[in-house]
Amino acid sequence: MDVGASFLGGVVAVAAAAYFAGRHHSRQKWMRGREPMAADQILRGLPEGVSQDEASEVLQVVGKCFGIRPEILRLEDSISALQAMDSWALGKGQEDLEAWLRSRGVKSLRTKGITIRDLILSTTKG
C-alpha cells in the first residue's frame, strides 16, 4: 500500500513539474525580445478618436486575464496566441476575458485572427 501511495505521489509531482515547466517555457518563448513600453506608446497606432483611457483599460484587462504585464502587450498580438499560452491554465484567462466582455455588452468574441487592436476597437467608444 505504501508503494502505491509513493508511486501516485511521484506521478503527481512529475505532472506538476511538467505543467509549471511547460507554462513557463510557453510564456518565455512568447515574450522573448519584448521590452516593456508605456501604454501611450503601445496605443499610438490606434485611429484618432479612440479613447486612450478605454484602450488602456483593455490592455490592463487583457494583461490581468492572461497573467502578462500589459507593458509587454502589442496591438498586433493575437488573442489566439494568448489563448494558446492560457491553455496551460485550462483557459482561465479566456474565461475571465469573456466575462469582462459580457459585462461590456459584447456577446461573443471571434478569436480566430482577432488582435488586441481589434479587441480595443470593438469594445471602446469612439
pLDDT tens figures, 5-23: 676 666 666 666 655 555 5
Do 109 and 79 form a contact (C-beta atoms < 8 A)?
A: yes
Nearest in space to 62 (alpha carbons), one of 81, 45, 47, 44: 81
- Quickly list DSSP for 15-34: HHHHHHHHHHHHHHHHHTT-
Q: How confident is the model at residue 74 (pLDDT cuts 50, 70, 90)?
A: very high
pLDDT tens figures, 34-48: 899 999 999 998 999
